[in-house]
Amino acid sequence: MLSDISNSVISGSWGDRGACHFSESYKQVYLSLTYSLIFMLGMPLNGAVLWLSWCQTKRWSCATIYLMNLVVADLLYMLSLPLLIITYAAGDTWLFGEMLCRLVRFLFYTNLYSSILLLTCISLHRFLGVCHPLSSLSYRTHRHAWQAAAATWTLVVLQLLPTLVFSHTDYVNGQVICYDTASPEQFDHFFAYSIVLTLSGFVFPSLIILGCYSLMVRSLTNPVEDLPTTGHTARAKSIRTILLVCGLFTLCFVPFHIARFFYLVIRFLKSQDCQLLWAASMAYKVCRPLVSMSSCLNPVLYFLSQGNNRAQLLQKLRQNKMGKHPTGVEGAPRARQIQLKAQCDLAPKASPSSKENRKWRQHE
What CATH number does the domain containing 145 carry?
1.20.1070.10
The reported pLDDT for the residue numbered 252 is 93
The reported pLDDT for the residue numbered 329 is 41
Same domain, 185 and 85: yes
Of 287, 306, 325, the domain-final residue: 306
Same domain, 194 and 86: yes
Q: How many domains does the chain have?
A: 2
Same domain, 221 and 282: yes
Q: Which residues of the chain have pLDDT under 70?
A: 1-19, 22, 57, 223-235, 237, 305-364
The reported pLDDT for the residue numbered 173 is 81
Asked if 210 contacts 242 with a C-beta cutoff of 8 angstroms, the reply is: no
Same domain, 282 and 338: no
Domain that holds residue 291: 23-306
Give the span between the Cα atoms of 5 and 9, in whole angstroms: 9
Same domain, 187 and 158: yes
Count CA atoms within 13 Å of residue 33 on its CB side: 6
Count CA atoms within 13 Å of residue 279 on its CB side: 8
Same domain, 34 and 137: yes
Give the span between the Cα atoms of 231 and 346, in whole angstroms: 10
Tell whether 210 is covered by a domain. Answer: yes
The reported pLDDT for the residue numbered 61 is 84
- For 35, 47, 215, 334, the CA distances from 322, given in Å and listed in that order, are 35, 21, 47, 14
- For 6, 181, 279, the CA distances from 22, given in Å and listed in that order, are 8, 19, 11
Same domain, 246 and 338: no
